[in-house]
């Protein structure tokens, strides 16, 4: 297992100098953020990003993410050009030593939360998803960090309507077409494609979502049954739903060699199915981190792992969910569990 850390480039207040001081950190997960969704990343931008990372003694083997254009998900307009551009991005990243690309196929909205700075009882601030708050949101005016902010409210309303008309089966068909196009290129370049589950893993605002549960993950992997077609298994996304057993999913899919990237964090699930993001430490949430890490360890997981969203603690401010301190604590906590499991194996 390789422990990594999300880094948002030179404008990220969490610098590479800070990240490299985290014990056990091997590299960063990053991307070229200056290029519009769907366009080809300039080779010089990729090379500069890699040089900046390597200059600090870190690796850049995982890209999160190469976003998929909405026209591809809807299979309309200029979708084939965007797919061809996607293939070229895979080739260019592979030439610079990238071995894993994380992406998602979530319609319109990426990860969704109802509040970004909810104050927990200990005084820290966290991302939360309260169902009663989400029900009152206007999706045409909603914006969260990392989303494509180029759409007007009118364009957003049109997108939502288009996806509602497309439906789940239409989305499945479009995902299949996309995979049939890109996975042969990924296999040729020996790059593992790792789809991120929907976050949260249920429909929102009447829009279909399909990467949500074990049954659908099985269906996804069979769309193009190639080892390069794999998963970013996120404990926060899948684990926030009571119908998912994340540790069991780890045992199953890691055993198949189809988990290429692991996002590991804790969430506290409420009685009504809402959830709060918590510290990684097991007693702070509803997930058993020791059980989860043991599932990865027992399956012989050799891929990449990162601590996922963290709280804002000790007065830190910055990108919601992506401060330094709580994620660093999470990384060291996860590495500590892993070290213990490794040493128990040696006895």
Among 215, 184, 157, which residue's Cα sits nearest to residue 86?
184
CA distances from 41 to 152, 159, 229 (A): 25, 25, 22
Q: Where are the domains of the chain?
A: 2-346
Tens digit of pLDDT per residue, the chain (347 long)?
Answer: 999 999 999 999 999 999 999 999 999 999 999 999 999 999 999 999 999 999 999 999 999 989 999 999 999 999 999 999 999 999 999 999 999 999 999 998 778 898 999 999 999 999 999 999 988 888 777 766 556 566 778 888 888 899 999 999 999 999 999 999 999 999 999 999 999 999 999 988 889 999 999 999 999 999 999 999 999 999 999 999 999 999 999 999 999 999 999 999 999 999 999 999 999 999 999 999 999 999 999 999 999 999 999 999 999 999 999 999 999 999 999 999 999 999 998 87
Thinking of the domain 2-346, which architecture would CATH place it in? Alpha-Beta Barrel (3.20)
Among 244, 228, 248, 227, which residue's Cα sits nearest to residue 236?
244
Name the strand (E) or helix (H) holding 60: strand 59-64
| pLDDT score recorded for residue 139 | 78
Q: Which residue has the tokens 């060291």?
A: 332
Among 36, 30, 41, 35, which residue's Cα sits nearest to residue 8?
30
| pLDDT score recorded for residue 110 | 79
Q: Check: CB of residue 266 under 8 Å from CB of residue 287.
A: yes
How far apart are the C-alpha atoms of 161 and 178, rounded to whole Å? 22
Among 201, 203, 226, 223, which residue's Cα sits nearest to residue 212?
201
DSSP strand pairing (25-30 vs 2-6)? parallel
The residues carrying an active-site annotation are 196, 234, 263, 308-309, 322
CA distances from 147 to 17, 106, 124 (A): 27, 11, 24
How far apart are the C-alpha atoms of 166 and 7, rounded to whole Å? 34
Token readout for 231 is: 């998963």
């Amino acid at each position: 297992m390789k422990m990594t850390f999300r880094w948002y480039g030179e404008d990220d207040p969490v610098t590479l100098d800070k990240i490299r001081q985290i014990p056990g950190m091997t590299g960063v997960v990053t991307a070229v953020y200056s290029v519009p969704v769907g366009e080809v990343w300039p080779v010089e931008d990729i090379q500069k990003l890699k040089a900046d990372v390597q200059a600090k003694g870190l690796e850049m083997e995982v890209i999160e993410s190469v976003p998929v254009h909405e026209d591809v998900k809807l299979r309309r307009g200029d979708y084939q050009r965007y797919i061809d551009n996607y293939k070229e991005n895979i080739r260019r990243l592979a030439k610079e030593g990238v071995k894993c690309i994380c992406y998602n196929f979530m319609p319109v909205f990426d990860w969704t939360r109802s509040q970004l700075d909810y104050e927990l009882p200990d005084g820290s601030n966290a991302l939360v998803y309260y169902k009663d708050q989400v029900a009152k949101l206007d999706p045409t005016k909603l914006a969260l960090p990392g989303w494509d902010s180029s759409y007007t409210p009118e364009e957003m309303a049109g997108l939502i309507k288009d996806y509602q008309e497309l439906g789940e089966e239409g989305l499945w068909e479009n995902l299949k077409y996309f995979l049939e196009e890109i996975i042969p290129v990924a296999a040729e370049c020996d790059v593992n494609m790792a789809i991120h589950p929907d976050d949260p893993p249920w429909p929102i605002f009447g829009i279909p979502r399909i990467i949500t549960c074990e049954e659908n993950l099985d269906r996804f992997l069979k769309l193009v049954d190639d080892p390069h077609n794999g998963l970013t298994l996120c404990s926060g996304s899948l684990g926030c739903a009571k119908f998912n057993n994340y540790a069991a999913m780890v045992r199953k899919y890691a055993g198949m060699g189809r988990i290429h990237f692991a996002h590991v964090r804790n969430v506290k699930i409420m009685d009504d199915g809402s959830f709060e993001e918590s510290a990684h430490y097991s007693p702070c949430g509803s997930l058993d981190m020791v059980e989860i890490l043991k599932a990865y360890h027992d399956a012989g997981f050799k891929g990449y792992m990162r601590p996922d969203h963290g709280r804002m603690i000790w007065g830190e401010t910055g990108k919601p969910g992506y401060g330094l301190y709580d994620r660093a604590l999470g990384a060291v906590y996860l590495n500590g569990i892993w070290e213990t499991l490794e040493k128990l194996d040696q006895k």
